[in-house]
Amino acid sequence: MILKSLRPAFVSMLAGILVAAVPLAASAESLAGKVGDRRYPAQFGQTKGPCQQAYKQYVAASGHSAYAQTHINYDAEAFFCGSFYNAPTQKAAEERALADCNSVFTKYKVKTAGRCTVYASK
């Protein structure tokens, strides 16, 4: 007798758990193939190289990622980039991508390329 009265309560509780779990499952979808928040359109000029490859890897990444680049300076014909993939948060990915991009300036001691900016993040 007690089992018959507990069954509707159990079914009701299970239905509530399933309804609550559906939005959580939808929010855990992969970010792979998505551009995310575009602040500037990615430009590569006439070159094909590591920055274009880094942007493609950013789009293909499944987690929070970011792509940073200096604006193209046609006088210096140089631009630099940095990226970070699958970070715990979008903000962390942006910070690491900027740090990666800015590290190029200390490595090559270049001052004419401009400053790094986050072009896209997700």
Residues of the chain with pLDDT > 90: what percent? 36
pLDDT value of position 8: 62
pLDDT exceeds cutoff 90 at 90: yes
pLDDT tens for each residue of 23-61: 444 445 788 778 888 988 887 767 678 889 999 999 999
Q: How many Å apart are CA 59 and CA 16, to the nearest integer?
A: 36
pLDDT tens for each residue of 8-24: 655 565 555 555 544 44
Token digits for 105? 């300036």
pLDDT value of position 48: 78
Q: How many Å apart are CA 16 and CA 63, to the nearest integer?
A: 29
SS3 65: strand
Can you say whether the dihedral through the CA atoms of 15, 19, 24, 25 is positive or negative? positive
Does pTM top 0.85 for this prediction? no
pLDDT value of position 24: 42
SS (H, E, C) 76-104: CCECCEEEEEEECCHHHHHHHHHHHHHHH
Q: For all residues of the chain together, what is the average pLDDT?
A: 78
pLDDT-derived band at 106 (thresholds 50, 70, 90) equals confident
pLDDT value of position 43: 78
